[in-house]
Amino acid sequence: MVIAGFFFGLSQTEWIAVVIVIGAVLSAEAINSSIESLADLVSPEYNEIIKKTKDLAAGAVLIMAIAAAIVGSIIFFPKLGF
């Protein structure tokens, strides 16, 4: 997204949106990894509650990635002529 941003000459507002969504996805992934590491430390053996917690954290990352893709589409599709 960043390279495309330089190529298409994004406005300041568009850059702000791109930076926010990239930061949000990276933050969500960091939180997901932290939850998984902590859960593995607390309960190394299989635990259904921990499985659900890990699945929810991974789902949050997916939702954030989808939101980032939507924002990217809103910004870049018009620049591509769509």
Whole-prediction pTM: 0.87
- Where is the binding site for substrate, in residues? 29
* pLDDT at 34 (0 to 100): 98
Buried b (16+ CB within 10 A) or exposed e, 47-68: eeebeeebeebeeebeebeeeb
Where exactly are the structural domains of the chain? 15-80
pLDDT at position 4 over 90 = no
29 is catalytic: yes
Confidence of residue 5 (pLDDT cuts 50, 70, 90): confident
Q: What is the mean pLDDT of residues 19-34?
A: 98
Architecture of domain 15-80: Orthogonal Bundle (1.10)
**Residue stretches of the annotated binding site:** 29, 36, 54-55
- In this predicted model, what pLDDT tens digit does every residue of 55-80 receive, in sequence order? 999 999 999 999 999 999 999 999 99
Please name the amino acid found at residue 55: D
